[in-house]
Copies of this chain bind each other. A is one copy, B any other.
Amino acid sequence: MGDFRYNGKIYYNPVEFAMDRIGGTWKMPILWRLKDRVMRYSELQKDIPHISQKMLTTQLRELEDDGFVVRKVYPVVPPKTEYTITERGLRAIEVVKTIREYGLELMKEMGVND
């Protein structure tokens, strides 16, 4: 598996590529919220502790560009936008689940208490 590029950036392996799509501090928390229902921007904001509006917006944009969510804007005032997870997003959720369960397991093993 040699290096390859996508959108100008060089990747060294498929793990890096995957994590560039769904990694970072906020993408998985966002996808997680959308996995079982459509949500508005403001709902996501209320539901995800600590996220700033800028992070929410930029991460949603990237998720949209990569086909993990779909954005639907209603031309009303005040604005209304809905975000829906796609098939691709649901596939990503499987991976998130794996990592999440592993995290819980590790935390237990390492004596981390929440």
Contact = CB atoms under 8 A, between A and B. Distances in A.
A14 B98 contact: no
Q: Label chain A's interface by main secondary structure.
A: helix
Nearest to A29: B13
Contact of A19 (B4, B99, B105, B109): B99
A100 B102 CA distance: 15
Interface stretch (A20-28, A39-47, A56-64, A71-79): A20-28
A24 to B, nearest CB: 9
Interface of A: 1-4, 6, 12-19, 21, 23, 25, 28-29, 49-50, 66-67, 88, 91-92, 94-96, 98-100, 102-107, 109-110, 112-114
